């Protein structure tokens, strides 16, 4: 993420928040503003597969994603998530729509779902999505009026 748009301690706090459990709320907020597809990273932990991250697919390049770290490739995202592809298998699911993310907030297996998005998280994610989109020179308002 272009850090010039954020205070340095703010960047650390945002990265902790959206790499440590709220990524799906941020991804949904960005997708709502842009209309872009979403993707999910699953990580195999022994015999169990866990949800690791949600992000937005950058249109025109299905190998670039937008998350709290800005626009970047999967290897950099996996590094941020501390997933070593040599030690554990990472599987990308996508592109998916918002309904898939919402479906993954429900279910009985905690390792296979995202936490529920309460009003506070939704509001913070919306504000953060606007800031990230402004930081990468994309106006949320122009996307709503000009683009599908």
Q: Tell me the pLDDT tens digit for each residue of 102-111.
A: 999 987 776 6
- Size of the chain, expressed as the number of residues it contains: 148
Angle between helices 8-19 and 23-34 (to 10 degrees): 100
CA angle 26, 131, 100 (to 5 degrees): 20
Give Cα 96 to chain centroid, integer Å.
12
CA angle 91, 97, 98 (to 5 degrees): 110
Report, as ranges of residue numbers, the positions in the chain whose pLDDT lies below 50.
1-5, 144-148
pLDDT of residue 140: 56
Report how far residue 24's alpha carbon sits from residue 13's, in angstroms, rounded to the nearest whole number.
Answer: 16
pTM of the model as a whole: 0.85
pLDDT of residue 8: 53
pLDDT of residue 33: 95
pLDDT of residue 146: 42
- Is 86 strand, coil or helix? coil
């Amino acid at each position: 993420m272009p850090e010039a748009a954020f205070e340095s301690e703010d960047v650390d706090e945002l990265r902790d928040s959206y790499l440590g459990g709220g990524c799906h709320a941020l991804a949904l907020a960005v997708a709502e503003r842009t209309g872009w597809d979403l993707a999910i990273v699953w990580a195999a932990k022994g015999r169990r597969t866990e949800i690791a991250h949600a992000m937005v697919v950058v249109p025109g390049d299905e190998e670039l994603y937008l998350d709290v770290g800005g626009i970047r490739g999967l290897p950099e995202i996996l590094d941020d998530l501390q997933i070593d592809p040599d030690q554990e298998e990472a599987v990308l699911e996508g592109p998916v729509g918002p309904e898939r993310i919402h479906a993954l907030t429900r279910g009985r297996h905690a390792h296979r779902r995202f936490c529920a998005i309460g009003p506070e998280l939704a509001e913070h994610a919306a504000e953060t999505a606007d800031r990230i989109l402004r930081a990468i020179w994309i106006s949320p308002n122009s996307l709503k009026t000009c683009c599908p």
